[in-house]
């Protein structure tokens, strides 16, 4: 089907930690992790064992039909490790989009308020054709031809300091984008007393690894709390250790009211969750949430093992260490090649934004595609991101061997050099 794009026209048959092998036996260093999913590596032996054991015991009963241990244990665990101090409860779904849809449903139902405020240049999903797509702040390709989308979701500018929509410089701007929300947006577009929640990725994933300033997130939380508006934190891409903390929002010292998680939660088996403050979750209407497959026993067993390994092997701390290695190399690329306009990220979630000219910041979109294609030929898989498809984002597994990480970074530089013919 033409509507589905393919980043790399190759067929992968096997994987081992950070390496993938195609049908011809060619080896690739994987800096995609299936879009930030296989954080514990491909064919992780501990996960293979856990999943096999669970398959032999129980595949499915449906969490709306009976209880089963892996689901209950995982809900308890997630409630415990979620950011902040409040008591939490959990709703399981299958994908990130469904988690976001349900987070919005919860926010609307329990507050009795209509509006959700989301961000330009965000991505919250497309699968469920619901609120997640409404809340996504990029028109092409995600929203093309799908109107009308569910109403009541309004977008505001993200604090994307490299391309500030207000043409200001951080920190001298005094958070002009938040000022706009407080003084203009809520008076002209969306009244706070009718707003259920603000939905934010504190590090935008598909948007190109844009990290919100620390004071922006803290000020936003304060403002929402003062006005009884919920903070909904989308951790689908940035969660699970990638930013150096288990949850990206922990880097900001802020507790969300509701959080969504998916992707790396079960290292590739379909699973997502909404984790909300118990006080809110207890107010939901009986029977108004659910789904046949959410919280599948096999996915839940895998997720329990993911949590055990993350904590035992201190993978968030490893993400800091790996991130420092990556950042050093990306900074060197910035020093050597004019095309690298910005280097940014948190932990091992690092990216470069390519531009034709550092002053005008004209996006180098076609060069970005060429670098990614060249890298694949050389045995490195990369992913694009960003509004203008000019960001190369790195998503290595958190278990990647350091030599393999360096090899991948060498291949990235070689590819850049060859495309630029320098
Ligand atoms: C932040 C964020 N939210 C939601 C989603 C949607 O997740 P899914 O593709 O599992 O529906 C994504 C997917 O990339 C994402 O990055």
Please report the pLDDT score of residue 284 as a whole number.
96
What domains appear along the chain, each with residue ranges and CATH number?
Answer: 12-30+314-420 (3.90.1150.10), 48-312 (3.40.640.10)
Determine how many CB atoms are found less than 10 A away from the CB of residue 367. 17
Pick the residue with more confidence: 30 or 3?
30
Name every residue whose Cβ is closer than 8 Å to that of residue 66 and which is 6 or more positions away in sequence.
none
Q: Are 143 and 133 in contact (CB under 8 A)?
A: yes
Long-range own/partner contacts, residues 355-359 (CB < 8 A, 24 or more apart):
355/390
In 3D, which of 125, 142, 119, 266 has the Cα closest to residue 201?
Answer: 119
| Ligand 1 centre distance from Cα of residue 125 (Å) | 5
Q: CA-to-CA distance for 413 and 419, rounded, in angstroms?
A: 10
Q: Is the CB of 237 under 6 A from ligand 1?
A: yes
Instruction: Report yes or no: 229 and 192 within 8 Å, Cβ to Cβ.
Output: yes
- Among 140-144, 195-199, 287-291, 319-323, where is mean pLDDT lowest? 140-144
Residue with tokens 């009308």: 148
Question: 74-125, pLDDT tens digit by residue?
Answer: 999 999 999 999 999 999 999 999 999 999 999 999 999 999 999 999 999 9
Above 90 in pLDDT, residue 154?
A: yes
User: What's the token pair of residue 72?
Assistant: 């209950």
Continuous H helices in 263-401: 278-281, 297-312, 315-336, 365-378
Question: Coil, strand, or helix at residue 63?
Answer: coil
* Mean pLDDT score, 226-253: 98
pLDDT band, very low/low/confident/very high, at 176 (cuts 50, 70, 90): very high
Residue 400 pLDDT: 98
Q: What is the pLDDT of residue 135?
A: 86
Residue with tokens 């996960």: 47
Using the predicted structure, report yes or no on whether residue 337 has a pLDDT greater than 90: yes
Please tell me the distance between residue 238's alpha carbon and the centre of ligand 1 in angstroms.
Answer: 10
Q: Taking Cα atoms as reference points, which of 154, 148, 121 lies closest to residue 137?
A: 121
Ligand 1 center to 199 CA (angstroms): 13
Could you tell me if the CB of 127 is within 6 A of ligand 1? yes
Q: Which atom of ligand 1 is nearest to the CA of 238?
A: 1
Quickly state the pLDDT bin for 148 (edges 50, 70, 90).
confident
Q: Is the preceding omega at residue 171 within 30 degrees of 0, hence cis?
A: yes
What distance in Å separates the CA atoms of residue 66 and residue 213, rounded to the nearest whole number? 44
**Cα(25) to centroid of ligand 1, in Å?**
31
Confidence check: pLDDT of 54 > 90: yes
Q: How confident is the model at residue 336 (pLDDT cuts 50, 70, 90)?
A: very high
Per-residue model confidence (pLDDT) at position 129: 64
Q: Is 193 exposed, middle or buried (0-12, 13-18, 19+ CB in 10 A)?
A: exposed
Residue 133: per-residue pLDDT? 87
| Residue 262 beta carbon below 6 angstroms from any ligand 1 atom | yes
Q: In this predicted structure, what is the pLDDT of residue 128?
A: 60
């Amino acid at each position: 089907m033409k509507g589905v794009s393919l980043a790399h026209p190759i067929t992968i048959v096997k994987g081992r930690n950070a390496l993938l092998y195609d049908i011809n036996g060619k080896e690739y260093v994987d800096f995609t992790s299936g879009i930030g999913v296989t954080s514990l590596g491909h064919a992780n032996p501990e996960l293979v064992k856990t999943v096999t054991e669970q398959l032999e015991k129980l595949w499915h009963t449906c969490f709306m039909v009976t209880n089963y241990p892996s689901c209950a244990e995982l809900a308890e665990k997630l409630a415990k490790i979620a950011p902040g101090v409040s008591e939490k409860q959990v709703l399981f779904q299958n994908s990130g989009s469904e988690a976001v849809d349900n987070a919005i449903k919860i926010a609307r139902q329990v507050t009795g308020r209509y509006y959700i405020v989301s961000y330009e240049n965000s991505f919250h999903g497309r699968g469920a054709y619901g609120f997640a797509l409404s809340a996504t702040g990029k028109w092409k390709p995600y929203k093309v031809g799908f109107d009308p989308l569910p109403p009541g979701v309004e977008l505001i500018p993200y604090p994307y300091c490299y391309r500030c929509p207000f043409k200001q410089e951080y920190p001298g701007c005094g958070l002009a984008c938040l000022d706009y929300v407080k003084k203009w947006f809520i008076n002209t577009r969306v009244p706070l007393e009718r707003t259920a929640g603000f939905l934010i990725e504190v590090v935008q994933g598909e948007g190109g690894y844009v990290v919100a300033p620390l004071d922006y997130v803290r000020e936003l939380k304060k403002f929402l709390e003062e006005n009884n508006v919920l903070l909904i934190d989308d951790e689908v891409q940035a969660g699970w250790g990638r930013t150096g903390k288990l949850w990206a929002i922990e880097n900001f010292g802020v507790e969300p009211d509701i959080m969504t998680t998916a992707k790396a939660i079960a290292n590739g088996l379909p699973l997502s969750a909404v984790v909300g403050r118990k006080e809110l979750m207890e107010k939901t209407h009986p029977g108004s949430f659910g789904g046949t497959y959410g919280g599948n026993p096999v996915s839940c067993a895998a997720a329990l093992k993911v949590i055990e390994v993350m904590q035992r092997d201190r993978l968030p701390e490893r993400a800091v260490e790996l991130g420092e290695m990556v950042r050093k190399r990306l900074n060197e690329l910035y020093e050597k090649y004019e095309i690298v306009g910005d280097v940014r990220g948190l932990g091992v979630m690092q990216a470069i934004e390519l531009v034709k000219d550092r002053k005008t910041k004209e996006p180098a979109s076609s060069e970005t595609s060429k670098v990614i294609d060249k890298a694949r030929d050389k045995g490195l898989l990369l992913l694009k991101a960003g509004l203008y498809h000019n960001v190369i984002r790195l998503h290595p597994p958190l278990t990647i061997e350091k030599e393999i990480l360096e090899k991948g970074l060498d291949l990235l530089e070689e590819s850049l050099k060859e495309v630029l013919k320098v």
